[in-house]
Structure 1
Amino acid sequence: MDKGAMGEPHRHWGFWLLLGLGVYFTLHVIVRATGSAVLALDEAEQVIVTQWWLAGYSGQPPLYAWLQAVAFRVLGMDLWALSLVKNTLLFLTWLFVFLSARRLLGDVRLAVLATLSLFLIPQMAWESQRDLTHSVMVTTVAAASFYAMLRWLDRPHVGHYLLIGLLFGLGVLSKYNFLVFAAAAGLALLSCARGRSLLLHPRILWSALVALLVILPHALWVWHSRDLGTQSLDKLDFGGGFWPWSGLGSLVLAVLGFLALLLLVMGAVFRRDFFHALFKRRGGPAAFPIHRYFWILLGLLVLMALLGVSHFKDRWMLPLLLVFPLFVFAMMGTAALTRARVRAYLSVCLLVPVLVLVVMALRVQTWPVLSPSIGMSTPLTSG
């Protein structure tokens, strides 16, 4: 690493990152809430289903609808409530990724770069703003779960066992693909001595009990409404296409669609260090075997394809590949952070949210920005 980067003050990078993210997502709230009252598909669904308190509504779990229903009852059924819920969840996702990166990587520069890397994932930077709800919810819970897991590994007291159980339950109530994330993380923990000692400790029964209590009402609803509750399984297209190549091909396209821009920028900026990091088998953080997590995750996804899943979507990768930038920066380490590289990477990462904000404003706004017919009190109806 060059000496200029070593001497560069970076103690306050975390503060400026979180302040910038707060301003960024606040601007998104304002842009959407003062914009067109024409609702996207997922937004319209929330307006309809949140009129009732139920243990389940459709083929998706109910947690996002419950949260949105609370916001509607407090703020009124308008665009402000819709945009505030989504952007609060997105801010929390970036926050938990930063906290995890800082704990896992041990260097604030690596943590900031890893967190800003989320802007190079189109499903995070754009699709989550455009029209996603349940995927946004599960990504936030997965980010919180990853951070809680790191704290649990460091200090495994009863409170952390209870928190792990709560987050597992909330993850299942967010979107069912959280189970794949939990399985990969659990198997990665089982592959190391520290993880095995925690997962096989009798206290894990407290985690299981809390998770069961959280999931049980929805599980009973799914059992009694099986036709409606299992609709999401149809999206997997079991047995469709030419087995197993349809599933494997769809999986490759989904993963590449999710990571392509990030890989391209990382490769262009960090070059040889990046490619060496991708294929390292040793090194990285001692707290959690993150490289094993990704190998195990890949194995689980391939197994799903071999079992007959023939359709994967790139947005389903959100909770699964969210921490991929942490893996890359963990494997590269601070030696890759020359001044020129850091500046180039920051420039690209900071350009993307500006473009997203501008395009979102052009998409939902009727210029001038604050039109007399669209304002803070624009009501929403399900009709």
Structure 2
Amino acid sequence: MTVSDDRTAKGAPALLGALFARTAFIDDAVGRFAAARVGPLPLPLAVIALVFIANCLLSIVARVPPGFDDREQLAAMGHWALGYSGVQPPLHTWLIKLVDLIVSDDIAAVYITRSLILCLLAAVLYGIGRALDLSRDGAAAAAFGLFLMPPVGWEAQRAYSHSLSGLFFTALFQLAMLMVIERNTAKSYILAGASAALAVLGKYNGLIALAGAIGAGLAWPDLRGRFRLRRLALAAAAFLLVLAAPMAWLASRLDTLDDSVGKFQIGQAGSALAVRLEGALAFLGGCLAYAGPLVAVWLAAWIVARIDGRATPLSPKGLRPEVRYLLTAVAASFALSLVLVLGSGATEVKGYWLHPVLITLPAVVAALLSAVDPTGWANRFVIVCGLVLSLASVAGFLLRSAGIGA
């Protein structure tokens, strides 16, 4: 090592030490924030709920014109059905109709349902964090990580319909699977089966998350030994019971699935290799657009921990079984989705199609940062970034309600 290299090696930790000293009061405040409660509710979840509710109220008061998906819901919610608009699953429309029974305002019901689902999603991610045995810092980071994924932290508040129910029940399904691994009770199996079915009724691509979960359960010998065949039958029964009637309806309309070819841009002209390469790039680009900020913050926190000397070695076998399960489930879903894109020749991948693959990624990131940085600083850094972006979303909705931007 040269003298210059030696000075650099000594200088970087010293610089970080000075920065940590100057920002220690912020780190302490974030730690207190993560540990605080408002009655029975953790303060981080209360703040997230206030953000979603504020943005919902801004949309209602300003009577923001509904987007395409919302107009579709307004047209469909006039009647109860096993599916809507060709082959669209029914769950989200049912939820809007239930809310409308209370508020008696169709467009307000659309916006309130969206806000309610997002609040519950944050609570489920927080619950996943706790199920992974993370500290309150880690659980809060898992919830605030939503705002580091633009399709959820911004777009889901603005435009989604069916995808909202799909992403929420996919997250709930993964929480139920963690309960199965930890408690192995009949109720946890039934919840896993029912929530998996509801994820599919929200958006059919929820099946990808189910396949990823099965792959994760089979991948680790110590996890395979925790599942009980008879109770798996309970989960399968709950899954089939919830899906039976809607799937029978869908089976009668399979001839209307041709529009999927257009959505995915399947069968484009060109060589097979060029088409697959275009599809792979579209898939990876979609993933980057979905979770790029979260991954960037994750890497930044890890690099800082390494330079500062606080990072601990990370080994998959050293992780808790629940963490290994969720990490493997996300990886398996990712791999399956890529295989489907390459195998089908699809060249179009929209961000909201990736919900079943990436919606629990904030919890995975929080778990890995907890393992790498036991001081909790890395997860508190995620909380700060997520909090800033959550407040930015309120500013964005204020501008939107004033007719500025979309």
Who is 1:287 aligned against?
322
Q: What are the equivalent positions in structure 2 for 1:243-258 lying under 5 Å apart? A: 243-258=275-290
Secondary structure in 2 matching 1:307: helix
Q: Distance in 2 between matches of 1:208 and 1:360?
A: 42
Who is 2:254 aligned against?
226
One-letter amino acid of the counterpart of residue 297, structure 2 = V
Larger Rg: 2
Distance change >3 Å, CA 205–CA 347, structure 1 → 2: closer
Q: Distance in 2 between matches of 1:283 and 1:237?
A: 43
Who is 1:332 aligned against?
369
Who is 2:109 aligned against?
81
- Counterpart pick for 1:319 among 332, 356, 360: 356
Deviation at 1:170, TM superposition (A): 0.7
Who is 1:38 aligned against?
65
1:314-337 superposed Cα distances (whole Å, 9 cap, x missing partner): 221123112222222322326626
- Give the TM-score, by structure 1 length: 0.86
1:204-254 superposed Cα distances (whole Å, 9 cap, x missing partner): 122212211211111111121223356445422333353321221111111
2:264 is the counterpart of 1:236: yes
Deviation at 1:138, TM superposition (A): 0.7
Mean CA deviation greater in 5-14 or 80-89? 5-14
Who is 1:375 aligned against?
none
Who is 1:379 aligned against?
none
Who is 1:12 aligned against?
36
Secondary structure in 2 matching 1:203: helix
Secondary structure in 2 matching 1:202: helix
Q: Distance in 1 between matches of 2:189 and 2:258?
A: 30
Q: Which has a greater percent of helix?
A: 2
- Counterpart pick for 1:260 among 286, 292, 309: 292
Q: Distance in 2 between matches of 1:229 and 1:213?
A: 24
Q: Distance in 1 between matches of 2:378 and 2:234?
A: 46
Give the aligned CA root-mean-square deviation in angstroms: 3.0
- Counterpart pick for 2:202 among 171, 174, 183: 174
Q: Distance in 1 between matches of 2:313 and 2:81?
A: 45
Deviation at 1:348, TM superposition (A): 2.3
Stretches of structure 1 that go unaligned for 5 or more consecutive residues are 368-383
Distance change >3 Å, CA 340–CA 174, structure 1 → 2: closer
- Identical-pair percentage: 23
Distance change >3 Å, CA 274–CA 319, structure 1 → 2: farther
**What is the count of residue pairs matched by the alignment?**
367
- Counterpart pick for 1:361 among 398, 402, 406: 398
Q: Distance in 1 between matches of 2:247 and 2:312?
A: 41
2:338 is the counterpart of 1:302: yes
Q: What are the equivalent positions in structure 2 for 1:84-233 lying under 5 Å apart? A: 84-199=112-227, 201-228=229-256, 231-232=259-260
Stretches of structure 2 that go unaligned for 5 or more consecutive residues are 1-16
Given that 2:181 and 2:227 are in contact with CA atoms closer than 8 Å, whether structure 1 keeps it comes out as no
Deviation at 1:125, TM superposition (A): 0.8
- Counterpart pick for 2:75 among 48, 64, 68: 48
Distance change >3 Å, CA 124–CA 146, structure 1 → 2: same
Q: Distance in 1 between matches of 2:312 and 2:108?
A: 43
Deviation at 1:340, TM superposition (A): 6.7
Distance change >3 Å, CA 220–CA 230, structure 1 → 2: farther
Given that 2:290 and 2:351 are in contact with CA atoms closer than 8 Å, whether structure 1 keeps it comes out as yes
Distance change >3 Å, CA 256–CA 204, structure 1 → 2: same
Deviation at 1:200, TM superposition (A): 5.5
Q: Distance in 2 between matches of 1:293 and 1:278?
A: 22
Deviation at 1:261, TM superposition (A): 1.5
Given that 1:156 and 1:198 are in contact with CA atoms closer than 8 Å, whether structure 2 keeps it comes out as yes
- Give the TM-score, by structure 2 length: 0.81
Who is 1:351 aligned against?
388
Deviation at 1:20, TM superposition (A): 1.0
Who is 2:97 aligned against?
69
One-letter amino acid of the counterpart of residue 187, structure 1 = G
One-letter amino acid of the counterpart of residue 90, structure 2 = P
